[in-house]
Amino acid sequence: MNKEAMYKLSYGLFVLTAKEGKKDNGCIINTAIQAASAPNQLSICINKANATHDMIVNTGKFTVSVLSQAADFELFKRFGFQSGRDVDKFEGYEACRRGENGIYYVTEGTNAYISAKADHMIDLGSHTMFIGEITDMDVLSKEPSVTYEYYLKEIKPKPEAVGKTENGQTVWRCKICGYEYVGEVLPEDYVCPICKHPASDFEKIVR
C-alpha cells in the first residue's frame, strides 16, 4: 500500500467550535462535508485528543466556520496550534459572533458558518465522526473557500530546513503542522502535540 495516495484527497479547512457551560473553544479541522441532502446533514471528523471533541460529545452541538482565502496564518495559529486546555482561544478575540445555538462562529477570514446537531457519534479509533441535521447557517463573504492545498501553498510559512541541531541530534518534522521533534528515533506511537497527527506523518529532516 502506498500511503501517499491519501494526500490526493481534497479538503476545505474549517474552525470547528463548541460551547460547554461558560467555556468557548474551537479547533481547525479539514473534514466538514454535506453527508446527505434530505434531511440536510453535515458531518465532521475530529481527533479525540482535541478539547473541542469532548465538548461536542457532552453537548451534542457544534458549528463549522468555513475558512476563506482572506484567512491569515495568525487565525490558523490561534485555533490550530494551541490547546483550549491551556488557553482561552477566544480571550480578547473580537472576530466572532454567537449563532442561534449559542456557539461562536468566526466572522473574519471566513465565508460562511453552518451549525448542526450531533445526531450520530461514530467512534473510529483516533477520531470521532459527528453527523447531524443543520440547525442554522449563513453566508459571511464572497471570498473563495480555502482548500487544504491552497493553505499549504499560500498561507502556511515555509519552514527552513533545520537538519541536525547544534548538538548534532536528528530532527523530525510533522508534515501537517511543522512541529519539530528532536531525537534520533521517533517513537512509533508518537502523536504530534500540536495537530495530533501520528508518527507516520513526520519526516526526518536532512540538510
Residue numbers at the binding site for its own copies (CB under 8 A): 1-6, 8-12, 31-41, 43, 45, 47, 66, 111-114, 120, 122, 124-127, 129, 131, 134, 136-139, 144-147, 149, 197-198, 200-201
Shortest separation between residue 138's beta carbon and its own copies, angstroms: 5
Handedness of CA 6, 84, 82, 145 (dihedral sign): positive
Is residue 193 reached through a cis peptide bond, with omega within 30 degrees of 0 on the bond before it?
no
Shortest separation between residue 42's beta carbon and its own copies, angstroms: 8
Nearer to its own copies, 83 or 147 (CB): 147
* Distance set, CA 143 to CA 74, 76, 97, 116 (Å): 18, 17, 19, 23
Joined together, the cell numbers standing for residue 117 give 446537531
User: 57-94 b/e with 16+ CB inside 10 Å = b?
Assistant: bebebbbbbbbbbebeeebbebbbeebbeeeebbeebe
Shortest separation between residue 169's beta carbon and its own copies, angstroms: 27
Nearer to its own copies, 169 or 200 (CB): 200
Nearer to its own copies, 1 or 207 (CB): 1
Nearer to its own copies, 55 or 67 (CB): 67
How far does CA 28 lie from the centroid of its chain? 2
Shortest separation between residue 154's beta carbon and its own copies, angstroms: 14
